[in-house]
Amino acid sequence: MKFRTKVQSILAVVALSIPAASAQVAPSDSNVKIEGFFTASYPSANQEMAELLPNVTVFPTSEAPLRFALSIEQATENSVPTTNGPAVTWSGVSQTLTIEIFSVMGDVLYSESRSSDVPGVLQHIVGTSDALPPPLQGLTYSAREAFYSFIEVRDDLGFRRIETSIGMPSPFYFFDGGPHSPTETSILEQETPTPLFAATDGFPQFLLGETEQVIDLYIDRSIDPFSENPEAQEQDEYSASLYGYITSISALINDLDGDGIADEVDACEASILDETVLFDGWYDSGVTNYVDDSGCSVMDHYAACAAEEQEAPRRGIRSVRSGPSSCEKAVSYDLVADGVISYAEARILREALYESSTSSGRR
């Protein structure tokens, strides 16, 4: 059975102080790779503090923004929300966060991973918001969607923590001098902030694609003075707060065409991903261009018919298209049978198919 909402879903943004965004179709996922640039690192931005904390990792963000990749893996099927105003705290979520920071030459400068599923987890918090207001008084930034995660672990080597705020930064972002770049200032001053989520009915799904979001990340490892493990005393104590912006959010799986289906099981490796089904490149049916669980969009199915017709032996030359082929006529029936579209949508597709095939010119 194919699922009509497996990859594409309706974007519904609920905001307190900004107008609700219009609904649109967008690919989404909860397991994502978030990429962007860190533009500031605390305390490296404060020379006095850097000298007082010699064991703190210093990232040279002052030389050039450092590219990063943050992977978020989540199991959310058992998630339970607790609402407190616009913010929601989710229990029952399993998470693994992995951060990689790259030098200006592209080498891995730093990498770290934290999981909520390992022994020794002291605290794990996941929070989201449809419209989180600015955290400090006096700021005029618009309310925006937000994602927050906190994982703290105690193991043989000490205390380890990773904390990240995406979309709406933590108060430390502003305490430490943010915004730290013109890009972040531009993002925060957007009258209508770029959506972070593609769906908020249930545990929010990240909106995939190019984006404009701010981010702050705190990572540390503190030596456990009571540890009996000698290796613990050989580890450097470190911590760092990094601030910057996000440029893209993509599915964590290998997915070259960006339809949310892993390449190894994707039957259509280069899917046509227009938001709605278009016929002949111009006639808009208005029906959502769903992607089924084989990785093929509705438009991919129609395109397969056109390819089949072109490859079939011809007995003559047809200068003007007289109507839909038998293959094209069958597509909507097959999609209904597979649960990809409804009967009403199938009827609209058939009418649009005939109209586009028999029309004498573009509108």
Which of 3-12, 27-36, 296-305 shows the highest mean pLDDT? 296-305
Q: Does residue 14 have a pLDDT over 50? A: no
pLDDT at residue 43, rounded to an integer: 61
pTM here is 0.62
Query: Residue type for 196, please?
Result: L
pLDDT at residue 68, rounded to an integer: 94
Q: How confident is the model at residue 345 (pLDDT cuts 50, 70, 90)?
A: very high
Cα 250 from Cα 73, distance rounded (Å): 12
Q: Express each pLDDT in 231-285 by its tens digit.
A: 655 555 667 789 999 999 988 876 677 777 777 788 998 899 898 999 988 899 9
pLDDT at residue 236, rounded to an integer: 55
Residue in the block written with tokens 């058939």: 350
% of the chain exceeding 70 in pLDDT: 73
CB 99 within 8 A of CB 72: no
Q: Does residue 69 have a pLDDT over 80? A: yes
DSSP 203: S
Residue extents of the structural domains in the chain? 8-251, 263-358
Cα 308 from Cα 355, distance rounded (Å): 21
Q: Which residues contact 288 (CB under 8 A, 6 or more apart)?
A: 8, 25, 275, 276, 277, 298, 345
* DSSP secondary structure string for all residues of 302-360: HHHHHHHHHHS--SS--SS--S--HHHHHHHHHHHHTTSS-HHHHHHHHHHHHHHHH-S
Higher-pLDDT residue of 41, 166: 166
Q: Express each pLDDT in 174-185 by its tens digit.
A: 888 888 899 999
Peptide bond into 133 cis (omega under 30): no
Q: Among 60-69, 131-140, 219-228, which stretch is predicted with the lowest mean pLDDT?
A: 131-140
Q: How confident is the model at residue 72 (pLDDT cuts 50, 70, 90)?
A: very high
Higher-pLDDT residue of 3, 113: 113
Q: Does residue 50 have a pLDDT over 60? A: no
Cα 101 from Cα 112, distance rounded (Å): 9
Dihedral-angle region of residue 225 (phi above 0 means left; psi in -120 to 50 means alpha; beta otherwise): alpha
Please give the sequence-ordered ranges of beta strands (E in DSSP) within the chain, or none if there are none. Answer: 8-10, 25-29, 32-42, 66-75, 80-84, 87-91, 94-102, 108-115, 121-132, 144-155, 158-166, 197-199, 205-207, 209-223, 238-251, 276-279, 283-288
